[in-house]
Amino acid sequence: MRHASFGILSAALLLASSAQAADVAAGKAKAEICAGCHGDNGISQTENIPSLAGQLDQFIQWQLVFFRAGARKNEQMQPIVEQLTNDDIRNLGAYFASLAPFKGGKDDNPELSEKGKQAAAGRRCASCHTDTFVGTKAVARIAGQREEYLVKALHDYKSGVRSGGAQAAMADVAYPLSDEEITALAHYLSHL
């Protein structure tokens, strides 16, 4: 717990010092190690790995700090983020935010998307992720995200497997979702 608290304090200090300009070029160079999983230009081609292109700067920074502090756990991310400095994190956030996000492809199941749209309205997803689901500040962009990743993330929030960040708020939202609602919601959001 102490380690996680230090990580959160570290994140607050990192973001407070964000007045120092981030170096997008340095972020791009540092992101070469990310491309193996998160894809070239931040567009993931790997199942259950999120795309990072177009994610908000603060969201990326917070998630990297949560991983680095151990508040958010992932076996593949841990050894990578342990090596990141605060400047690296700031630069990576700026770099991924500067990239054009993936635009959802042609919707092959509009009926499922309509059910997902209703689930999003019923769970008030837009109250945090905005009406267009592009996120704001430290809240994730979920529009155009990989469909199977969204399913996995919602199941992880629902079961309590995922921690760090907005875990409490997302657990409250995800817990009452049925498997059918999760599938529909992920389909809808991935095609925006």
DSSP labels, 30-46: HGGGTHHHH-GGG---S
CB 165 within 8 A of CB 74: no
Cα separation, 18 vs 143, in Å, equals 26
Could you tell me how many residues make up the chain? Answer: 192
The alpha carbon dihedral of 91, 92, 93, 99 has a sign of: positive
pTM for this entry: 0.87
The Cα–Cα gap between 31 and 188 comes to 29
User: What is the mean predicted confidence (pLDDT) over 142-163?
Assistant: 93
**Long-range contacts at 149-157 (CB < 8 A, ≥ 24 apart):** 149/44, 149/47, 149/48, 149/49, 149/50, 150/185, 150/186, 150/189, 150/190, 151/182, 151/183, 151/186, 152/48, 153/50, 154/182, 154/185, 154/186, 155/182
Q: Where are the domains positioned within the chain?
A: 24-30+47-98, 110-191
- Contact assessment for residue 67 and residue 87, using Cβ atoms and an 8 Å cutoff: no
Q: Is the pLDDT of residue 182 over 70?
A: yes
Going by pLDDT thresholds of 50, 70 and 90, the confidence category of residue 96 is very high
Give yes or no for residue 11 having a pLDDT over 80. Answer: no
Statement: residue 33 has pLDDT above 90:
yes
The two domains 24-30+47-98 and 110-191 share their CATH topology (first three levels equal): yes
- Topology of domain 110-191 in CATH is Cytochrome Bc1 Complex; Chain D, domain 2 (1.10.760)
What is 24-30+47-98's CATH topology? Answer: Cytochrome Bc1 Complex; Chain D, domain 2 (1.10.760)
Q: Enumerate the known binding-site residues for heme c.
A: 34, 37-38, 77, 125, 128-129, 170
Measured between alpha carbons, how far is 92 from 28 in angstroms, rounded to an integer? 7
User: Are the CB atoms for 133 and 121 separated by under 8 Å?
Assistant: no
Separation of alpha carbons 9 and 65, rounded Å: 10
| pLDDT at position 116 | 97
Q: Which residues are annotated as a binding site?
A: 34, 37-38, 77, 125, 128-129, 170
The CB-side HSE value for 79 (13 A sphere, CA atoms) comes to: 3
For the stretch 70-89, pLDDT in tens is: 988 899 999 999 999 999 99
Mean pLDDT, rounded, for 23-28: 97
Is residue 6 within 8 A of residue 15, CB to CB? The reply is: no
